Amino acid sequence: MNAREHLAALIDRASSGAPDEHRAIALELASALCEWPADDPERMRSAYALLLEKIAPQLDRDTRKELVARLAQQPDIPLGLMSELFFDASDDIRASVLARHGEEPANVDAITPDLNEAALIRAVRDYPPEQFGRVMAGLVGIPASTTCRIIGDGSGEGLAILCKGAGLSRVTFSTMVMLTEVSLESAQRKLEQFVPVPEGAAASMFRFWRTQRAIKAVHTEDSAAA
């Protein structure tokens, strides 16, 4: 079975929707990406990575952690896939992913969103953390699954990336930290994350998150039209 036939078979299996099958497919895709034959087309490897990126949100956290630890050993794994698994990675892998984002060329054509910081602050005051993540998704234009992981990120790095990448002020970042964190000690640790996050890398990561939101919207429209 060549790479194209193998990919087609994996896509058919992924369409079954069974969680156990998704885990098996994900591990099989990771093995293929890490042991890619030199004579197989590189474009097919990118297709394998895209399929894994697509099913990764459906995987349990332990599987995602296993995947990102394995994939991180290969420096040429597509950045989009590593970004999808960012919140499941260790600190050193996170740093390497951010470093790669920092090397991405600035997108001069990208439209900087005009975000309503006052609305964000009102939302974080009015909603408990488990609801605020979903509300924030609509305000900043990224997937709710991502904002919920950002709020749940105990390090505070995800929120710092979001705020810097979206051009939000440090005051807004600090307000969100203080109103979503119950412990003053852990809030202080999170507040220290804002300065170290590179602005260019944060902007690149934020663009990735917004692209994911757009892709999911297209998929939803396609499903409704089918």
Q: What is the mean pLDDT of each run of 10 residues along the chain (226 residues)?
A: 84 80 92 88 90 92 96 93 97 97 77 80 90 92 92 94 95 93 91 95 95 58 39
Q: What does the chain come to in residues?
A: 226
Q: Tell me, what's the pLDDT at 106? A: 75
172: left (phi over 0), alpha (psi -120 to 50) or beta: alpha
Contact 139, 115 (CB under 8 A): yes
Q: Is the dihedral of CA 11, 14, 16, 20 positive or negative?
A: positive
Q: Tell me, what's the pLDDT at 111? A: 55
Tokens of 11: 């896509």
| Domain boundary assignment for the chain | 3-103, 117-221
**Alpha-helical regions (H) of the chain:** 3-14, 19-34, 42-55, 61-71, 79-84, 91-103, 117-126, 129-140, 144-152, 157-165, 170-180, 184-191, 199-225
> 4 in helix, strand or coil?
helix
Q: Tell me, what's the pLDDT at 218? A: 39
CA proximity to 164, closest of 112, 104, 212: 112
CA proximity to 51, closest of 65, 62, 38, 67: 67
The Cα diameter of the chain in Å comes to 57
CA 22 to chain centre: 18
Contact 180, 52 (CB under 8 A): no
Q: Tell me, what's the pLDDT at 41? A: 85
Q: Which residue's entry shows tokens 């488990």?
A: 130
